[in-house]
Amino acid sequence: MLPLALVLFLLNCHIVSSASIINTLPGFSGELPFKLETGYLGVGDSDDVQLFYYFIESERTPIKDPLVLWLTGGPGCSSFSGLVYQIGPLVFNYANSSGNQPTFLLNPYSWTKLASDALSAAQTYEFLRKWIKGHPQFLKNPLYIGGDSYSGKTVPIITQEVSEGNEVGREPPMNLKGYILGNPFTNPTYDVNSRIIFAHNMALISDALYESTKTNCKGEYVQVDPSNAPCVENLQEVTQCLQKINSPQILEPICSTMSPKPKGFKWDKNFVGENFLDMPHRYPELWCRAYNYMFSFIWANDKTVQNALHVREGTIKDWERCNQSFSSSYAYDVRTSLDYHRNLTKKNLRSLVYSGDHDMLVPYVGTEEWITSLNLSIDYTWRPWFVNGQVAGYTKAYTRKAYSLTYATVKGAGHAATEYNPRECFPMIDRWLSYYYI
């Protein structure tokens, strides 16, 4: 019974905080059947950093349903992806969009039908405090902090900030219940080293190459000694085997374009063309996931869309789903979030960690290893979980006094499991938020 989603992206502009209710959107026929609010909230010194957010109210019981703050990974990726590709109430109508005008459908699996690293976390916590002060009707709603991918670094920090703020009496008090993480980057020792183990599990490298690499590199594939020639040679062979595999979802084809555009290349409407959206219907063999992301590029850069969302004129030049230039100025100052997880296991909190089992960017293997390193007690052992009588994945649960952690794989899903397998992820989160076993 998930409720409300808050999604954010950063804008560096100095403006007064504001909020607007959106009743209609280009590409959707008629009035929106849910409450959508967008706005800006300033954080930092003199409110010099402005966070633009989307707020979608629960479609069930807004005054009681859980409140979820959702952050998309990256860093530098817009949470608009979460809104239209993963857990939001609208999805692009790929089959019936034509010309250069993307259209929308209602998402039957929307979660609203239910309920620098350190600097980014601090700013998000400040945003959350200000947002709740401005929306006091949600003070008592159960609060969950959620995110996927690179947000695995920041979500535990924000959760700890909220928890400690409550403990010292910081206003406003928040009804924090726990946190949610999907295929989360957590610690490179686990995340990156496990890629070779995963590749072997999936028969992408041979038994002989795997055993040789493990022996020669001593199981360490991140901090490699360049003078260790046998290890370096093995890793080169591994790279040759994997370089043409699509890491976010190993069963899908590698796309010729990055999302939303190749590095150093500028998409514009002249390039896209008036009938761009008709192409895959005529040439279905050309489909790849990055094609879907072009819908968001076209739609979000439309001035009528930006006006409808009350985006301040001049605050963005070209909207990008993932801002590649952001990385050059971003301080990756949190190498691991494991210590934050360890701190959170001492608190009265719940956590859900899920992994698409065909993701080679953050393989389930490494996620299971760092969860094991927390030394929690086992609540229930490894078992399948089901949707409509079919195995949707596997799950295991852990506890430590008042803390609980539920881990689940999503069978066949890739890096953003909610995007690849929404039909399975919807009941997964619904059951967990309702305090049922998955």
Name the E strands within 257-376.
350-356
**Residue 179 Cα distances to 88, 176, 370, angstroms:** 18, 9, 17
Contact 131, 41 (CB under 8 A): yes
> Residue with structure tokens 């995340």?
191
**Residue 83 Cα distances to 53, 92, 99, 166, 249, angstroms:** 11, 11, 23, 29, 20
Spot the catalytic one: 200, 341, 358, 415.
415
Contact 161, 87 (CB under 8 A): no
Which amino acid, one-letter code, is at 55? F
Query: Is 117 designated active site?
Result: no
Spot the catalytic one: 149, 151, 163, 337.
149
Spot the catalytic one: 65, 117, 191, 359.
359
Which amino acid, one-letter code, is at 51? L
Q: Edge-to-edge strand order for the sheet containing 390-400?
A: 18-22, 36-43, 49-56, 4-11, 67-71, 143-148, 176-182, 350-356, 403-410, 390-400, 377-387
Query: Is 17 designated active site?
Result: no
Which of 56, 48, 41 lies closest to 9, judged by CA?
41
Separation between Cα atoms, residue 109 and residue 113, nearest integer Å = 8
For 361, the 3-state DSSP assignment is: coil
**Residue 243 Cα distances to 212, 235, 247, 250, angstroms:** 19, 12, 9, 11
Q: What is the C-alpha radius of gyration for the chain, rounded to an integer number of angstroms?
A: 22
| CA 174 to the chain's CA centroid | 23
> Residue with structure tokens 């360490």?
220
Query: Is 359 designated active site?
Result: yes
Instruction: Give the catalytic positions in this structure.
Output: 149, 359, 415
